[in-house]
Amino acid sequence: MRVVSLVPSLTEAVAVTAPGLLVGVTDWCTRPAGLDAVRIGGTKNPDTTAVTALRPDLVLANEEENREVDLAALRAAGLNVLVTEIRTLDQAFSELERVLTACGLPPPHWLEESRRAWAALPSVAAPRPAIVPVWRRPWMVLGRDTFAGDLLARLGFRNVYAGHHDRYPRIPPAELNASGAELVVLPDEPYRFTADDGPEAFPGLPAVLVDGRHLTWYGPSLAEAAGALRAALR
């Protein structure tokens, strides 16, 4: 098969499972390192003409990461576009299976390892309230119905803004500091928070830097994400 992936997480999932299937990937597809495939632009602005020229049997996309106008253009060109929806861990597992099956691949070992790792997490009686900034200038945080929010809930944290009507609400720092959160979780993507860029905005609140790939990527990283995030957030 010839596969084009417009989603970094799905790129890694396919490339780790069956190297050689991918003929085109986005500029943001950084895993695995040294991936040998044509770069076709960004997730939000792929070169649809370049994708079509690659003559893929399948294009992998995601309803949140990719724009419908681009997916419609690819369908109009006669391409088979598989669009995933992943807002929970359970959805991630089922959609990853669907993607790999569409690529003609059996379930890989890393998928079962990921299921076992997350199923082994202990239950938590009293989740700690937390906020999860994902951008600054303006400040944006995780809101309702997000994959990262579901992972944090399984790790024993309650997203303070899980009930917000927006999925990624813009919240001023003063309001974030008065939100009742007991912890600030700062991933290094999509905004690259660091020890010198982020924690200073939350005086008096403990802030933890985490690997954004562990928190937001669905793919082979899920096998290690449960343990890594649990250790970081203790």
**Domain map (residue ranges) of the chain:** 3-107, 128-232
CA 1 to CA 93: how far, in whole Å? 22
Mean pLDDT for the stretch of residues 21-32:
96
pLDDT of residue 28: 94
Kindly tell me if the per-residue pLDDT of 205 is higher than 90. yes
Q: Which runs of E-coded beta strand occur in 58-165?
A: 58-62, 81-84, 128-131, 133-135, 140-141, 157-159
Kindly tell me if the per-residue pLDDT of 30 is higher than 90. yes
Mean pLDDT of the chain: 96
Mean pLDDT for the stretch of residues 184-196:
97
CB-based burial of residue 228 (10 Å sphere; 0-12 exposed, 13-18 middle, 19+ buried)?
A: middle
pLDDT tens string 117-140: 999 999 888 899 999 999 999 999
Kindly tell me if the per-residue pLDDT of 166 is higher than 90. yes
Mean pLDDT for the stretch of residues 153-179:
96
Q: H or E element: which one contains 4?
A: strand 3-5
Task: Specify the CATH number of the domain 128-232.
Answer: 3.40.50.1980
pLDDT of residue 123: 86
Kindly tell me if the per-residue pLDDT of 73 is higher than 90. yes
Mean pLDDT for the stretch of residues 189-206:
96
Q: Matching CATH topology for 3-107 and 128-232?
A: yes
Mean pLDDT for the stretch of residues 46-69:
97
pLDDT of residue 124: 85
pLDDT of residue 97: 97
- pTM for the full predicted model: 0.93
CA 232 to CA 234: how far, in whole Å? 6
Kindly tell me if the per-residue pLDDT of 234 is higher than 90. no
CA 71 to CA 138: how far, in whole Å? 29
Neighbours of 44 (CB within 10 A): 12
pLDDT of residue 171: 97
CA 83 to CA 164: how far, in whole Å? 26
DSSP assignment of 16-28 equals: HHSTT-EEEE-TT
Kindly tell me if the per-residue pLDDT of 197 is higher than 90. yes
CATH superfamily of 3-107: Nitrogenase molybdenum iron protein domain (3.40.50.1980)
pLDDT of residue 125: 81
- Nearby residues of 53 by Cβ (< 8 Å), 6 or more positions away: none
What does DSSP assign to residue 200?
G
pLDDT of residue 19: 86
Mean pLDDT for the stretch of residues 214-229:
96
pLDDT of residue 32: 93
